[in-house]
Amino acid sequence: MSNVTYKYIRQNKDIQTYIEHSDAALFSIGYTEHSKAHAEIAAQTAFTILSTLNFDERICELAQIAAYMHDMGNVINRNDHAQSGAVMAFRLLDCMGMPAEEIAVIVSAIGNHDEKTARPVNPVAAAVILADKCDVRRSRVRHPVTEGAKGQEVTQDVHDRVNYACVKSSVGFSEDNSTIVLNLVIDEEISSIMEYFEIFLDRMVLCRKAAETLRVKFELIMNNSKVL
């Protein structure tokens, strides 16, 4: 087993720098927040998903590490950032002395998290997909403009608008742990549920496939109604 822990990864200055510069690059082209906050939320969610399903402790930690590092490739370019990030992670983890067996799991997960090319190729990849796509929150929107009947600050970009419309979100399990549930409360004066579902359909379908890889179901609840 490697001595490269999640705690060590979080404190690594090089990784922090790549995450900060990746987020700055996305900010410059109008994308939602992909900062350390997103990395930490995704890492915690990925760990919780696998630990709840009784996966080995080290596998759970590998999911934490992969989720924390998954968006670093944006420092190179938004296009193909999952694959770029996987190559970056390989170099960093290899230099740290992590065993090839563990690196292989992590880079596969990072390289398979973007919905355009993603596949839940292993449990860690499935957990990273779910953790990444379920981080829906208003605070991720960074370019709001004032519009709307109540003068809300709402971005004109439809992808940002559906994030801004989310006033509350949570991800967890059903009582019997057979279903992963993403529960959202949407302000329908900002974005309709249909608009939200149209924008995020590909992501939610990918979440369902990821959950199936973990042998559980995936449900999306919006304003107390099941939509997936």
> Mean pLDDT, to the nearest integer, of 100-116?
96
Indicate if the pLDDT at residue 170 is higher than 70: yes
pLDDT of res. 143: 67
Indicate if the pLDDT at residue 150 is higher than 60: no
Angstrom distance (rounded) from CA 222 to CA 217 = 17
Residues of the chain with pLDDT > 90, as a percent, come to 68
Q: Choose the weakest-confidence range: 22-31, 38-47, 53-62, 68-77.
A: 22-31
- What is the per-residue pLDDT across 112-138, written as a single tens digit (0 to 9) for each? 999 889 999 999 999 999 999 999 887
- What is the per-residue pLDDT across 69-91, written as a single tens digit (0 to 9) for each? 999 999 999 999 999 999 999 99
Indicate if the pLDDT at residue 146 is higher than 60: no
Decide: helix, strand or coil at residue 169: strand
- Binning pLDDT at 50, 70 and 90, where does residue 30 land? confident
- Binning pLDDT at 50, 70 and 90, where does residue 221 land? very high
Nearest to 32, CA basis, from 186, 207, 199, 177: 199
Structure tokens at 55: 């996966």
CB neighbours of residue 158 within 10 Å: 12
Angstrom distance (rounded) from CA 227 to CA 17 = 39
Burial class (CB in 10 A: 0-12, 13-18, 19+), 72: buried
Strands (E), 106-191: 145-146, 153-154, 166-173, 179-186
Structure tokens at 133: 């796509």
Structure tokens at 77: 């370019």
